[in-house]
Structure 1
Amino acid sequence: MKVEQIYTGCLAEAAYYIVSDGEAAVIDPLRDIQPFIERANQDNVIIKYVFETHFHADFVSGHLDLAEKTGADIVFGPSAQPAYPALIAEDGQEFRIGKISIRAIHTPGHTMESTCYLLLDEQGKEVAIFTGDTLFIGDVGRPDLAQHVISELTEEKLAGHLYDSLHTKILPLPDTVIIYPGHGAGSACGKKMSNERTDTLGNQKKHNYALNPNLTKKQFIQQVLDGLMPPPGYFPYNVLLNIKGYEKLDKVIERGNKALSPGTFEAIANTTDAIILDVRHAQIFAKGFIPNSINIGLDGQFASWAGTLIPDFKQPILLVTESGKEQETITRLARVGYDNCIGYLEGGFETWKVAQMETDQIESISAEQFSELLIENSKLAVLDVRRRSEYNSEHIVGAENLPLDFLNQYMSQIKPEQTYYVHCAGGYRSMTAISILKARGFQNLVDVKGGFSAIKSVNKVPLTEYVCPTTLL
């Protein structure tokens, strides 16, 4: 028996590949399924089942493409109603993979169809449980997402179901059972996830706040719901894609993987409503880019930020990437439902410059330079685009907080005539924010390299934990 966790840091998502005696199963695959097919070919096994723990909100699953290419059966838990053929497991139903079994355990709470899968070895011993978004390391799944698709499923009702599922289905299992969660730290599907990617149930009983045996159901509901940030805007759309089905990834890649000359690229940009998405590193982008393009770097949590900041999933997308990164970019966009890439700039930004096309730049200064300016002028307009919780923890005295997550909604609060010095935690989000603002006509924007961590290390500007009542959101 072999269990392999396939972790994708961009989405903080864990899929699983399980092998026993010539057969394999996959749990919660991402949309790009080639890694699973390659593993099965290398191991000379047949992928028999694709298990889905629930209808995912934070990514488009690869279950449909994987089932079509391998002949595997798709398995969902009780109450799931997909718009395509699938096996709907009964609570407690077991599925044989080689010499081992996987038992479906219905655990409603994160969503109503949420199901964990318990791994039984050749002797029938309970070895591990794949918990999806029901139980994380250090946390549990947020119970407020399903109401964005089905309004009568309130977060309080779902949190109550989650409490019951944990206490009647998971906590009675042996302490030695290994927990394999669907996500790790950085995912928006929870709030206190650990950087650890597996643990034993016994250890989680000691350290996971949500598994505290002294918590009443009412207290559990209150603690689980406390401090939840609004979910990213793309979540409901991804849920619907996972329920109803979606276009084959091969076709999405074929449509987007088209090299365009600078002239053709410009003509398409001018005659369509396509967004120009530049995925190069923030500081490379700052030195030169196509006017009105948006920078969301591949080197960060690219897919989730694209899903948060590009509201129209049907909008055509033109890409500017480093050479060789075109297909990767198309694939990573497709993971969160952006299937309408229509081409990329052949040769990247260098060919644009060689063709003597119009370019733009963003002024970027060091944390040392910024600190000196702030010392000289304490009324300098500073825009902090970190999340509210980061800002509340510590921020520059007098800085305004406008989280990147909500930039589209609160742009009207930025004064066009004012010069803003923009920072985030490390420099990734501030460049994205400035690129969006410049595309909307704001010009007086200066990026602070290295963000708050660099500013803090210079140790020259006053910081505070106090939240100004006029802070922007």
Structure 2
Amino acid sequence: MKIEQIYTGCLAHAAYYIENNGEAAIIDPLREVQPYIKRAKLDDAKIKYIFETHFHADFVSGHLDLKKKTGADIVFGPTAEPSYEVIIAEDGQIFQVGEYQIKAIHTPGHTMESTTYLLIDENGKEHGIVTGDTLFIGDVGRPDLAQKIASDLTQEKLAGYLFDSLRNKIMPLSDDLIVYPNHGAGSACGKNMSKETTDTLGHQKQVNYALRADMTKEEFIAELLDGLSAPPGYFPQNVMMNIQGYESFDQVMEKSHKPLTPKEFEAAANETEAVVLDVRHQNDFVKGHIPRSIFIGIDGGFAPWVGALIVDVKQPILIVAPKGREEEVITRLSRVGFDHVVGYLDGSFEAWKKEGLEYDTISAISAEEFKNRYEDIKDVIFDVRKEGEYIAEHIENAHFTPLDFLNDYLSEFPDNETFYLHCAGGYRSVIAASILKSRGIHNLVDVAGGFSDIKTCGVPTTNYVCPSTLK
């Protein structure tokens, strides 16, 4: 059976291309749809259906643009109520793609409309299941997102629905089916996903904690909800864009791809109250950046961090990007619903400096220098990694101030004493430093290389923390 997984690492997202006899289907497309159209043209195939497993929270789907460009029908599962024309599949309904069949299996739990698609080849053999966020490799979808849209859908209630869907709809299927999930490790849509992006259902029944045969519903709910961190703030906004519709990607690119001279850039920042988003490498940002700009590097976990830290998708944004990567930045912002880019600095930061405009820097030291200072600074060390990383191992005496919720910890940073920030490798600590400096907190030093370099220098660490110390 011809099925291709189209994986986008920065979002840990998988879309799927299915083709047979000149007909094709796309499942869970990203915002920019031209790659799917090009792929179908290689097979001289017409895209017939666009299947959505659910209303996505972590990205804006490309289903509307793809329908407009190809004429394909959009298919959602039972109970979906979008604000545009779609086919609402019945549970068990079969769709024909060439000689292949795609069977909709309603699997509520992650969301109420969540649907798994069973793939059946030209010989009638069941090949695999595209599970969306119902079943991941090593995990299942978090059940706390739909309650942001409908308050009566508690996470406990959704977890119960998910238990029933897995037991009654997924687990009875053949062990040799291939599981094709919507996400892999790094996505915020689950908590324990594997780095693998496919597996057999039989193997998942053996190793996935959520598919244990002897698990009661109460045990499932308790384990699923245990350690579930708060979802990024932009998730509900992406859900609503996917339900209600959005501006076309082509229009977003046309209005956003505007080069601005340094003077125009400065004027736009003053007139629009835009966030100045610098996406260069953290080492470049540390050496020089526009005052009060926020760093989120394009070569790190870019889009999810933008969504988690800027939050409001309607926020105007001005971009400072490496030369030649401006279109890429606009594209990746639009994937998570940030469609209000005002423009970008033509010539990047070098043009700003050449114009003689004011710029700022971040104080930074090596891990070796950090070790030399440790005894004198051990009470003013701040760890901005995630809770699990901190609990597993952290520098003795380090304060836990996770980047995801940095605004909740602003009062913990000293006013008149220099303090030190670190993360795992140096990316997140520079993000944190830029946010703090944008809020007028400048008495900070970044530890380049982060915890990985600090450990090699022999700085004392511990792997225990009393949970009461974590907010």
Q: TM-score, normalised by structure 1?
A: 0.98
- CA shift digits 1:380-414 (9 cap, x unpaired): 41010011121111111111111000012332332
The AA in structure 2 aligned to 1:201 is L
CA drift of 1:272 comes to 2.1
CA drift of 1:471 comes to 4.2
| Corresponding residue number in structure 1 for 2:234 | 234
| Corresponding residue number in structure 2 for 1:435 | 434
The AA in structure 1 aligned to 2:232 is P
- Residue 463 (structure 1) aligned with residue 461 (structure 2): yes
Secondary structure of the residue aligned to 2:113 is: coil
| Corresponding residue number in structure 2 for 1:90 | 90
| Corresponding residue number in structure 2 for 1:31 | 31
- CA shift digits 1:65-121 (9 cap, x unpaired): 011101000000000000000000000000000110100000000000000000001
- Residue 323 (structure 1) aligned with residue 326 (structure 2): no
- Matched ranges for 1:73-112 at <5 A: 73-112=73-112
- Residue 408 (structure 1) aligned with residue 407 (structure 2): yes
Cα pair 1:400 1:472 within 8 Å, conserved: no
- Matched ranges for 1:180-329 at <5 A: 180-329=180-329
Name the CA distance, whole Å, in 2 between partners of 1:364 and 1:248.
42
Q: Say which is worse superposed, 145-154 or 408-417, in terms of deviation.
A: 408-417
- CA shift digits 1:102-157 (9 cap, x unpaired): 00000000000000000001121110100000000011111111111111001111
- Residue 148 (structure 1) aligned with residue 148 (structure 2): yes
- Matched ranges for 1:124-139 at <5 A: 124-139=124-139
CA drift of 1:378 comes to 5.1
| Corresponding residue number in structure 2 for 1:50 | 50
Name the CA distance, whole Å, in 1 between partners of 2:303 and 2:311.
13
Closer, same or farther: CA 407–9 of 1 in aligned 2, 3 Å? same
| Corresponding residue number in structure 2 for 1:424 | 423
The AA in structure 2 aligned to 1:87 is I
- CA shift digits 1:214-252 (9 cap, x unpaired): 101111111111110111111111111100011111111
The AA in structure 1 aligned to 2:370 is F
Cα pair 1:309 1:408 within 8 Å, conserved: no
Secondary structure of the residue aligned to 1:17 is: strand
The AA in structure 2 aligned to 1:396 is I
Name the CA distance, whole Å, in 1 between partners of 2:470 and 2:287.
29
Name the CA distance, whole Å, in 2 between partners of 1:472 and 1:438.
24
Secondary structure of the residue aligned to 1:101 is: strand
Give the share of equivalent positions with the same residue, in percent.
63
| Corresponding residue number in structure 2 for 1:341 | 341
Secondary structure of the residue aligned to 1:175 is: coil
Cα pair 1:111 1:158 within 8 Å, conserved: yes
Closer, same or farther: CA 127–467 of 1 in aligned 2, 3 Å? same
- CA shift digits 1:46-73 (9 cap, x unpaired): 0000000000011100000011101000
- CA shift digits 1:299-340 (9 cap, x unpaired): 111000000000322221000000111111011111111110
- Matched ranges for 1:157-176 at <5 A: 157-176=157-176
- CA shift digits 1:189-213 (9 cap, x unpaired): 1111111110001111111111000
Cα pair 1:67 1:74 within 8 Å, conserved: yes
Secondary structure of the residue aligned to 2:11 is: coil
Secondary structure of the residue aligned to 1:421 is: strand
Name the CA distance, whole Å, in 1 between partners of 2:451 and 2:177.
41
Name the CA distance, whole Å, in 2 between partners of 1:435 and 1:73.
45
Q: Say which is worse superposed, 463-472 or 410-419, in terms of deviation.
A: 463-472
The AA in structure 1 aligned to 2:318 is L
Name the CA distance, whole Å, in 1 between partners of 2:170 and 2:153.
23
Once superposed, which parts of structure 1, at least 4 consecutive aligned residues long, lie more than 3 Å away?
Answer: 468-473
Cα pair 2:234 2:312 within 8 Å, conserved: no
Secondary structure of the residue aligned to 1:36 is: helix
CA drift of 1:468 comes to 5.6
Secondary structure of the residue aligned to 2:10 is: coil
Name the CA distance, whole Å, in 2 between partners of 1:390 and 1:106.
36
* Alpha-carbon RMSD: 1.1
Name the CA distance, whole Å, in 2 between partners of 1:173 and 1:380.
56
The AA in structure 2 aligned to 1:173 is L
| Corresponding residue number in structure 1 for 2:354 | 354
Name the CA distance, whole Å, in 1 between partners of 2:411 and 2:46.
55
Secondary structure of the residue aligned to 2:264 is: helix
- Residue 121 (structure 1) aligned with residue 121 (structure 2): yes
| Corresponding residue number in structure 1 for 2:383 | 384
The AA in structure 2 aligned to 1:412 is S
Cα pair 1:293 1:435 within 8 Å, conserved: yes
CA drift of 1:415 comes to 2.4
Q: How many pairs does the alignment contain? A: 471
Secondary structure of the residue aligned to 1:174 is: coil
User: Which runs of no fewer than 5 residues in structure 2 stay unpaired?
Assistant: none
Closer, same or farther: CA 135–472 of 1 in aligned 2, 3 Å? closer
Cα pair 1:319 1:341 within 8 Å, conserved: yes
Secondary structure of the residue aligned to 1:103 is: strand
Cα pair 1:374 1:380 within 8 Å, conserved: no
- CA shift digits 1:396-437 (9 cap, x unpaired): 111111100001233233222221110001111000000011
Name the CA distance, whole Å, in 2 between partners of 1:303 and 1:472.
26
Cα pair 2:143 2:158 within 8 Å, conserved: yes
Cα pair 2:179 2:200 within 8 Å, conserved: yes
Name the CA distance, whole Å, in 1 between partners of 2:27 and 2:149.
23
